[in-house]
Amino acid sequence: MRRDDITPDLLYDLYWNKEMSIRKIATYFKSYQHTILNLMKRFFIPTRTRSLANKISNRRGSGHPRWIGGSFVTPQGYRLVMEKGHPYSIDGGYVLYHRLVVENHLSRYLRPEEVVHHINGKRDDNRLENLMVFPDSKTHLKYHAKMRRYKGYHE
């Protein structure tokens, strides 16, 4: 992936929604940690505090307050489930549940650049009929911009 392809939206998503570490993001883009950090600074993406970083890396089993039967909900409201052996799992083997729902339906893995959108804006409503796939974050953002023109639309 070329450096130009690392968009603010994608970087924010990997870091804050998918909770990937700077090291993992650098590996993912075949880039360097200092390059990723510089880009985050340039895009005004906040970095995690030490305590939040520890919380994420220490999250294990029933010790976590938001742990529900093998999965947990991120601070952003997305459900992550343990899926060992998934090619795009993040730290510790977790995958975003709404992506798994779509993958099961399509019988293929989603490419990392594909974005799954929650139609009614509820991030915990992972019914197939509430999910929509975009080929990349650019198309996804375009859709959001279009929908914002309609009164009362959110997320």
Q: Which residues bind Zn ion (CB under 5 A)?
A: 117
> In this structure, are residues 30 and 40 in contact, taking their beta carbons and an 8 Å threshold?
no
Task: Write the DSSP symbol of residue 136.
Answer: S
Q: Which is nearer to Zn ion, 91 or 112 (CB)?
A: 112
In the bound complex, what is the minimum distance in angstroms from residue 32's beta carbon to Zn ion? 30
In the bound complex, what is the minimum distance in angstroms from residue 122's beta carbon to Zn ion? 11
In the bound complex, what is the minimum distance in angstroms from residue 106's beta carbon to Zn ion? 18
* SS3 category, 121: coil
* SS3 category, 11: helix
In the bound complex, what is the minimum distance in angstroms from residue 9's beta carbon to Zn ion? 11
Query: First CA to last CA across the chain, in angstroms?
Result: 28
The beta strand positions in 27-130, using DSSP E, are: 67-68, 71-73, 79-82, 94-96, 115-118
In the bound complex, what is the minimum distance in angstroms from residue 123's beta carbon to Zn ion? 9
In angstroms, rounded to a whole number, what is the distance separating the alpha carbons of residues 80 and 108? 19
CA distances from 37 to 20, 31, 66, 113, 134 (A): 13, 11, 29, 20, 27
Q: Which is nearer to Zn ion, 24 or 117 (CB)?
A: 117
- Using the Cα atoms of residue 22, residue 37, residue 35 and residue 14 in order, give the sign of their dihedral: positive
Q: Which is nearer to Zn ion, 17 or 35 (CB)?
A: 17
Q: Which is nearer to Zn ion, 105 or 142 (CB)?
A: 142
